[in-house]
Amino acid sequence: MRRSKGFHTITDSMTQDKTLSGLIQRANQLKKLDDQLQMCLPSQVKGLCHLANIKGETAVFVCYTQMEASKIRMYSRSILQIMQTEFKISVKKLQLKVELKR
């Protein structure tokens, strides 16, 4: 059983646990890519979704309503083309998830 010595700082935890460090690094990369992608999206869909992950040849986006997800689906070819040409990411399909705002 591990003895608790109180809370550890994130920096201490990251140096001890490479998994946590890797997750934070991945999240930062995705956030940076999403920020750049938002500037390139067609004006009709800017801000309606956010890049959540890239799994193999699939880009996962989060939308907040079904209506926004439907609009993103209509522009999916354009979004895929932007990701392939502007960012050199070899994605072939989009996966949309709807996350309800609280």
Is 73 part of a structural domain of the chain?
yes
17 pLDDT exceeds 60? yes
CATH code of 59's domain: 3.30.300.180
pTM higher than 0.85 = no
Is 38 part of a structural domain of the chain?
yes
Is 2 part of a structural domain of the chain?
no
Q: Which of 87, 100, 96 is nearest to 51 (CA)?
A: 96
Is the Cα dihedral 70, 73, 79, 83 positive or negative?
A: positive
Q: Structural domain of residue 65, as residue ranges?
A: 10-98
Is 58 part of a structural domain of the chain?
yes
Q: What is the total count of domains within the chain?
A: 1
Is 81 part of a structural domain of the chain?
yes
Is 4 part of a structural domain of the chain?
no
pLDDT in the model for residue 20: 79
Percentage of the chain exceeding pLDDT 70: 89
**Residues 80-100, mean pLDDT to the nearest whole number:** 96
Is 55 part of a structural domain of the chain?
yes
pLDDT band at 1 (very low <50, low <70, confident <90, very high): very low
User: How much is the mean pLDDT over the chain?
Assistant: 89
**Centroid of chain to Cα 5:** 35
Is 3 part of a structural domain of the chain?
no
54 pLDDT exceeds 90? yes
